[in-house]
Structure 1
Amino acid sequence: MSKERVHRFVSSDFTVRMAAVNATEVVRHMQSLQNTYPLATVALGRGMVGALLMASQLKDGQQVGLLFKGNGALGSVYAEASYEGHVRAYTPNPQYQPPNYDNGLSLKEAIGNGTLSVSRHQPFQKQPFHGTVELVSGEIGQDIAHYLHQSHQIRSLVSLGVYLDSYGKVQAAGGVMIEIMPGVEESLVEKIQQNYEDKKPNISKMLMEGASPADLIAPFMEGIPFQEIDHKHEVEYFCPCTKERVLRAFETLGEAELQDMIDKKESSEVTCQVCGKPYTISVSEIQDVKDRVHKASLH
């Protein structure tokens, strides 16, 4: 099976840039790793699609992180993607179930009121660029569009879809992001908006019917010539966890707890919550960590 990629397009006069992706496989992969229930699956799936679309407009080696933090039951949703198509996502409450599904899979209640923080990392940059905006809808796509307008003065349309079957399993996931460059004719903005109103494109339904990324863009851009530009990177679920990072996390436990683990003479099994990779930390490795923590406490 060939891997998908984010497809990028630009209007013939370069005033509108677009990105579209079929992210079904990576969202499905995330669901199988984290065993997410329906609302968390939709939230993380949309977050992953949004991050992939935003990252595709960056440059080599750059990545974007989206942190949706609300007072709803899901708490927070984090998704990050790189220009190269690596993506991952996480929520502390993957198995959250609402009391009922009267609101369908609406995220508004589940995420609640709060903020969207966006960080953009660039290679060789000590500090990432951070921007934070209030959540306007909690439905993720509109919040990303709100962020782009507030922080970068870019008007955009962001349409994200995650479709689940009756068992809550991912059947389709993908999205479209259309960004209008500052200073563009108002009539062009109105045309895209009108296309959207008239056609109400349903991304997940179109994907279920076999739509290509260019098909996803077409209804928004009717009457506006556009062409595809090169973007060869394949999309894959990728987590940069390593044993070193896990050991660094152990340092936060403190000496007493580490000593307790050493006394029990049991190696520790740790699973990365983002990708499900298991790590076995031996007693001697825990001892090394404890020695490091002790040394640091003396300084």
Structure 2
Amino acid sequence: MAKEQTKERVHRFVSKDLTLRIAAVDATSVVAHMQDLQKTAPIPTVAVGRSMVGALLMASNLKDGQQVGLLFKGSGPLQSVYAEAGYNGQVRGYTPNPTYQPANYDKGLSLKDAMGIGLLTVARHQPFQKQPFHGTVEMVSGEVGDDIAHYLNQSHQIRSVVSLGVYLDTNGKVAKAGGVIIEVMPGVDEAVVDRIQQNYEKNRPNISKMLMDGAQPVDLVKPFMEGIEFEELEHDQSLEYFCPCTKDRVVRALETLGEAELQDMIDKKEEVHVTCQVCGKPYNVTIPEVEAIKKHLHKESMH
């Protein structure tokens, strides 16, 4: 699996007059890896997968060491969807309701009902900043791409086209996943914006279908950019499904339980077995370790 993941990367482009910033990606391996780890049902797979693709596209336009996190919190049964990606191509995604299935699939894999109405919060992390920059907007459709475009327009005054696709096979497994983002920079000739709109209406690019037909990232961009010259920029960051979980984080989470709860675990000789929900990595905390955590908490409370 890891070998497969290293081949893919986000491809970045720019229009010849530098007023359009474009990124495209085939992110099939990392989205399939997420599904393998979390055993997500079809609709959660599409929601988390599109969010991961969106985060990767946004992160590719940041600087080295920077990250972007997307948190969709809605009134629908999925409750929330989170995806995080770094400029370096590392990405992860998660929903607390990975096994959600609707009563029927009459509406296909539409996310509107599953996500419901709510908010999209985007966090941009910089390596030397203690607190990330947060921007929050209302979700306009729950279909992820539209919500990202709405966020860029509201928070950064950047008009954009965001087209994301996750294609599942007849068994509900990820067959293809990818997307395109085109951001319009200040000073653009409005005729260029009109041209992109016309291209979109004429070609109706279907990202999932194009990927299934063997399209490369540059091919995903072409239907939007007919008649507009563009070129590729260097961006050699391989995609990797990556989770920064550590045993230290598990220990810190246990500290929040308090002394009485920890003593109860010690009395019952309950070892702690925790599996990271994002990457599936198992962590075990032994009774002596639980005792040490309790001792540490007690010591802290004396100060």
**TM-score normalised by length of structure 2:** 0.97
Q: 2:186 aligns with which of 182, 186, 189?
A: 182
Q: Where do residues 48-63 of structure 1 align in structure 2 (5 Å cutoff)?
A: 48-63=52-67
Whole-Å separation in 1 of the counterparts to 2:301 and 2:151: 42
Q: Which residue of 1 aligns with 2:231?
A: 227
Secondary structure of the residue aligned to 2:150 is helix
Secondary structure of the residue aligned to 2:256 is helix
Q: Which residue of 2 aligns with 1:119?
A: 123
Whole-Å separation in 2 of the counterparts to 1:255 and 1:3: 48
**Residues paired across the two proteins, number:** 299
Q: Which residue of 2 aligns with 1:216?
A: 220
Q: Which residue of 1 aligns with 2:77?
A: 73
Whole-Å separation in 2 of the counterparts to 1:35 and 1:252: 29
Q: Which residue of 2 aligns with 1:46?
A: 50
Whole-Å separation in 2 of the counterparts to 1:96 and 1:251: 31
Aligned-residue offset at 1:266 = 3.4
Unpaired segments ≥5 residues, structure 1: none
Instruction: Kindly indicate whether the alpha-carbon contact (under 8 Å) linking 1:153 and 1:182 is maintained by their aligned counterparts in 2.
Output: no
Name whichever of 101-110 and 255-264 sits farther off: 255-264
Instruction: Kindly indicate whether the alpha-carbon contact (under 8 Å) linking 1:122 and 1:128 is maintained by their aligned counterparts in 2.
Output: yes
Cα deviation 1:96-149 (Å, max 9, x = unaligned): 111111111111110100000000000111111100000001000000000000
Q: 2:165 aligns with which of 132, 148, 161?
A: 161
Whole-Å separation in 1 of the counterparts to 2:103 and 2:256: 36
Whole-Å separation in 1 of the counterparts to 2:261 and 2:297: 11
Q: Which residue of 1 aligns with 2:86?
A: 82
Cα deviation 1:208-262 (Å, max 9, x = unaligned): 1111100000000000000000000000100000111111111111222211111
2:266 is aligned with 1:262: yes
Which ranges of 4 or more aligned residues in structure 1 deviate by more than 6 Å?
none
2:195 is aligned with 1:191: yes
Whole-Å separation in 1 of the counterparts to 2:251 and 2:267: 18
* Cα RMSD for the two superposed structures: 0.9
Q: Which residue of 1 aligns with 2:10?
A: 6
Whole-Å separation in 2 of the counterparts to 1:117 and 1:173: 23
Q: Which residue of 2 aligns with 1:276?
A: 280
**TM-score normalised by length of structure 1:** 0.98
Give the letter aligned to residue 157 of structure 1. V
Whole-Å separation in 2 of the counterparts to 1:264 and 1:294: 20
Secondary structure of the residue aligned to 2:24 is strand
Name whichever of 53-62 and 253-262 sits farther off: 253-262
Q: 2:32 aligns with which of 28, 33, 41?
A: 28
Aligned-residue offset at 1:267 = 2.1
Give the letter aligned to residue 110 of structure 2. S
Identity of aligned residues (%): 72
Aligned-residue offset at 1:65 = 0.3
Aligned-residue offset at 1:161 = 0.1
Cα deviation 1:126-175 (Å, max 9, x = unaligned): 11110000000100000000000001111000000000112110000000
Give the letter aligned to residue 137 of structure 1. S
Give the letter aligned to residue 226 of structure 1. F
Name whichever of 147-156 and 177-186 sits farther off: 177-186
2:153 is aligned with 1:149: yes
Instruction: Kindly indicate whether the alpha-carbon contact (under 8 Å) linking 1:44 and 1:77 is maintained by their aligned counterparts in 2.
Output: yes
Give the letter aligned to residue 206 of structure 2. N
